[in-house]
Structure formats: C-alpha cells, structure tokens
C-alpha cells in the first residue's frame, strides 16, 4: 500500500509573491496540481497535502480533486516538521509513504513508479531521487558510499567548501517505509543554519537508505524563485512541443510559441510564430494558426486559418478563415466555411455556414443563418444599459455597410438591408429595409455661405 504526502505549506519567500508558491501557474496548472498529477499513476490509497501558509487558498484550488486529505502545519518549521504532522493521521498505516515536494513540478509518473519499485525490491527504509547537476546551487547535497547507499544529506547553506564540490543533489522526492520513518521523526532537531527541522536528517537514523539517479535531471528541477519558474516553463514547453512535433505538427519558430499541456493538436496543424494555445483547446487537422494568435479553451475544426486573432471559449467549424484581427469570445460558434475578418468582434453568437463577417463588425447575442453577408461596419446594439437582447438574421440576408440592429430584432431570410440603416423593427423574408433619412441636396450652399460673410 502506498500513501502520498505533498509538502505544500511553505510560503515560498524567494518568490517574493503574495500568492503561495505552490499556486503559481505553469503551463495551465498550478505547481501543486502538477505534483498531484505526477503521482496519480501509482493509484495511492491515501493522498495527504500538507498546507500552512494561505492554507485555505491552497485547499480551495484543489477542491476538484477527489479524496484528498489536508493536514495543517500551522507554523512552518521545516520539511521534517511538516512530515511530523502526519503522525496522528497515519497511526495505523503500514505501507510505504511517498513524499513529494510541492515545488518540484516536472516529475514524470514513470520516474515515481521506478522509485517505488526500487524501494520495494530492495526493502529499503528510504529511497530518494537524486541527480548530478551542472549547477547544484541551492539544493541539498547527497553523500553516498559505493552502492548508492546514502550516508548524509547536507543542505547547500550548511555545506563547507569541500562539500559544495559534490554535485549530486537531493530532488526532494522520497519513498519511506512509514513505520520506520514514524519511529525516527521525533528525533529530528533544528540544529542548522535555518533552525528548521529538516526531513533530510532522517537518513542519519534509517538504514538502508538508497539514492536513485534520474536520467533527465530536468525532472527534479525545483521552483524556488521566479527565475526557476521561468526555467521550469522552458523545460515544460520543450517537452510539450517535442511531443507534438513528433505527432506531425509543424512549428515555425517554436521558441516563440507556447502550448499548455492540456491542448490537443491533430496531424498537419501548422503553428506560426508568436502563437499561444491554452487550456482545453483542440485544433483540427491541417489548420494553420498564427502568426500572432491566442486561442484559449476553444475548439477549432479542420483546415481553418487563424491569423493575428484572439479566440476564447469559442468554437470554429472546419474550413473557416479567421482574421486578421478577429476577437471571438464568450461562446461564439462559427459554422463551416465562414470568413470572419478584419477588426470583427463576435460574442455569444451562433453563425451558420458560409457566412461572411469580413470587416469592422460587432455581433453580440446574435444568431445568423447560412450564407449571410454582413457588410462592413454592421453592429448589433444588443445592450440597452440594463439587459442584453438577441438579434436574429435569416439565411441569405445581406446587410449594408454601417447598419445597426437595435435588439431585440429579427430579420428574415434573403433580406437586403440598405447601407447606414438603423433597424429597430422586425423585417420579413425577401424585403428591402431602408431605415435612414433620404439624402437631401441643397444647391449653391457654398456660394450662400460666402455671401453671408461679406
């Protein structure tokens, strides 16, 4: 049986943030969510999260996750002190305890499985992940004898000059025989530079303790400050992009592109520079995104082009051309083979197939049929200052340039709207609506003005 404990009580002083460190975001998830996800494969029988600084916020952020137990560490006196808080909760527990640092977000599930297997195979009292880092600054150093049996772990700030030469670092990820750990936890002291109770000191009292190297040391990169957060982001982005390129996605200038790992891409998608795909976004086969586009929580069909545009919480069906400079938001649904163009904003509207909204429009709370042609500058006046109202436009209707639909209003099928009309009443099928002043011409105006000035 395996229980998992996640250390998430620290403030993360080095982040210089009001937000608890473990709630900082990385590629669409908080750090602590990522840590939780990395251990799901092990199907632990218990999942305990140790919270302290801004405990309620951390707890609330995880309220979607099933069967978590929160253990409060009211004063943050160190990682050892944090694990001591588990004693009353795991009194009768007899299996292994996997301890994860809430600020080590890039672990692969297989690595944890491997750690657990090694731990159980050798019947170790403790097994921990280590790596040889080119720059080990800030990490605890692990000292082993020839067989990877750990003698001592010394924190960076407690190391003497010779100890600092050791580049083998502690990843902060451990597997313990819980019964053995529980016996030695009360022995910890805070006799060190930070006057904290270090979990790493338990290795003095346990045996055997084994170190397991991770192949890819990026996996155990910790996030202690903003620079390390940015580095973790780089590592994650490289992983995500390498994955999608291997699945048949083209990226032009990948360094300028960001993709959350919740995004799904189908083969032959091309992503151009400066494009960002976030949240639960899906992009269909052969679509071309960018340059310069942001798509969040949206579904884009096949063979769509999106050029310099922003799409959030919306759907675009196959064969559409979006942009340049289109903003789709608030559950806009664009039907197949539409053209939505320059400086057009569409909010909470349903657009049929082969409909064009090519220039300078705002459509809000509208339903448009198929083959509608929306003239340049057409606007729905959907808000009366208190409520939003709907506009309905039937199949085949053509709206003139600069027309305004004062909602609620319905235009039938194959209607023609004269340019500059302000439409306030419903229009039947096949009609022409002209809702503006007739043009007047007053001749010799210029001459008269001149005469008056004499």
Which residue of the chain is nearest ligand UD1 when measured via CB? 140
Does residue number 222 form part of the binding site for Ca ion (CB under 5 A)? yes
Interacting positions 93-132 with ligand UD1 (CB under 6 A): 101-104
Residue 130 binds: one of ligand UD1, Ca ion, none (C-beta under 5 to 8 A by kind)? none
Interacting positions 33-62 with ligand UD1 (CB under 6 A): 50, 52
Q: Which of 231/270 has CB closer to Ca ion? A: 231
d(CA 358, CA 370): 15
d(CA 273, CA 255): 8
Interacting positions 155-184 with ligand UD1 (CB under 6 A): 155, 169-172
d(CA 319, CA 317): 7
Of 27, 44, 140, 319, the one binding ligand UD1 by CB under 6 A: 140
Q: Which of 22/334 has CB closer to Ca ion? A: 22
Does residue number 82 form part of the binding site for ligand UD1 (CB under 6 A)? yes
What letter would DSSP give residue 149? B
As measured in angstroms, the least distance from the Cβ of 13 to ligand UD1 is 8
Stretch that binds ligand UD1, among 73-81, 113-121, 257-265, 371-379 (CB under 6 A): 73-81
Catalytic residue among 29, 122, 331, 359: 359
Q: Which of 7/404 has CB closer to ligand UD1? A: 7
3-state secondary structure of 103: coil
Does residue number 322 form part of the binding site for ligand UD1 (CB under 6 A)? no
Q: Which of 133/406 has CB closer to ligand UD1? A: 133
144 near 75, Cβ under 8 Å?
Answer: no
3-state DSSP helix/strand/coil % of the chain, to nearest 5:
20, 30, 45
Q: Is 119 a catalytic residue?
A: no
Stretch that binds Ca ion, among 89-97, 217-225, 280-288, 433-441 (CB under 5 A): 217-225
Query: Tokens 């200052």 identify what position?
Result: 385
How wide is the angle at C-alpha 313 spanned by C-alphas 311 and 315, nearest 5°? 75
d(CA 43, CA 46): 9
337 near 372, Cβ under 8 Å?
Answer: no
Query: Buried b vs exposed e over 80-110: b needs ≥16 C-beta within 10 Å?
Result: bbbbbbbeeebeebebbbbbbbbbbbbbbee
What single string gives the DSSP state of each residue in 38-80? HTGGG--SEEEEEEBTBHHHHHHHTTTSTTEEEEE-SS---HH
Binding mask 194-233 for ligand UD1 (x = CB under 6 A): ----xxx---------------------x-x---------
199 near 184, Cβ under 8 Å?
Answer: no
As measured in angstroms, the least distance from the Cβ of 331 to ligand UD1 is 37
Strand 398-399 to strand 373-374: parallel, antiparallel, or no bridges (unpaired)?
Answer: parallel
Stretch that binds Ca ion, among 13-21, 41-49, 215-223, 368-376 (CB under 5 A): 215-223
3-state secondary structure of 158: helix
Q: Which of 107, 170, 174, 90 is nearest to 136 (CA)?
A: 170
As measured in angstroms, the least distance from the Cβ of 85 to ligand UD1 is 9
As measured in angstroms, the least distance from the Cβ of 76 to ligand UD1 is 3
Binding site for ligand UD1 (CB under 6 A): 7-10, 22, 50, 52, 73, 76-79, 81-82, 101-104, 139-140, 153, 155, 169-172, 198-200, 222, 224
Catalytic residues: 359
Binding site for Ca ion (CB under 5 A): 103, 222, 224
């Amino acid at each position: 049986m395996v229980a998992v404990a996640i250390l998430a009580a620290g403030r993360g002083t080095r982040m210089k943030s009001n937000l608890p460190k473990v709630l900082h975001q990385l590629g669409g998830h908080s750090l602590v969510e990522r840590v939780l996800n990395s251990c799901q494969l092990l199907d632990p029988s218990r999942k305990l999260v140790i919270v302290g600084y801004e405990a309620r916020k951390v707890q609330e952020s995880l309220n979607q996750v099933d069967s978590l137990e929160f253990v409060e560490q009211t004063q943050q006196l160190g990682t050892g002190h944090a694990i001591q808080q588990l004693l009353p909760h795991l009194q009768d527990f007899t299996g292994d305890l996997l301890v994860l640092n809430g600020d080590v977000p890039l672990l692969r599930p297989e690595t944890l499985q491997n750690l657990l297997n090694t731990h159980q195979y050798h019947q170790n009292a403790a097994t921990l992940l280590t790596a040889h880092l080119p720059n080990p600054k800030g990490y605890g150093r692990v000292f082993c004898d020839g067989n990877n049996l750990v003698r001592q772990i010394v924190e960076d700030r407690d190391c003497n000059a010779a100890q600092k030469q050791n580049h083998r670092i502690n990843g902060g990820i451990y597997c313990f025989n819980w019964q053995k750990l529980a016996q030695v936890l009360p022995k910890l002291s805070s006799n060190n530079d930070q006057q904290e109770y270090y979990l790493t000191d338990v290795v003095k009292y346990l045996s055997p303790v084994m170190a397991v190297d991770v192949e890819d040391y990026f996996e155990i990169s910790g996030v202690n400050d903003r620079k390390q957060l940015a580095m973790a982001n780089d590592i994650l982005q490289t992983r995500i992009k390498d994955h999608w390129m291997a699945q048949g996605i083209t990226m032009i200038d990948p360094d300028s592109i960001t993709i959350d790992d919740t995004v799904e891409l189908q083969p032959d998608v091309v992503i151009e520079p400066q494009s960002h795909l976030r949240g639960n976004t899906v992009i269909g086969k052969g679509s071309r995104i960018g340059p310069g586009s942001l798509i969040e929580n949206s579904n884009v069909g096949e063979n769509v082009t999106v050029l310099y545009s922003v799409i959030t919480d919306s759907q675009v069906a196959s064969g559409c051309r979006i942009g340049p400079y289109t903003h789709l938001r608030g559950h806009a649904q664009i039907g197949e083979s539409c053209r939505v163009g320059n400086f057009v904003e569409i909010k909470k509207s349903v657009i049929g197939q082969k409909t064009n909204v090519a220039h300078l429009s705002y459509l809000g709370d509208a339903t448009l049929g198929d083959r509608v042609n929306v003239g340049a500058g057409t606007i729905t006046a959907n808000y009366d200052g208190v409520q939003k109202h709907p506009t309905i436009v039937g199949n085949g209707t053509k709206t003139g340039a600069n027309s305004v639909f004062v909602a609620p209003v319905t235009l039938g099928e194959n209607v023609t709207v004269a340019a500059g009309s302000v439409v306030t009443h419903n229009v039947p099928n096949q009609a022409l609506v002209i809702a503006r002043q007739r043009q007047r011409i007053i001749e010799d105006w210029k001459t008269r003005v001149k005469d008056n000035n004499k």
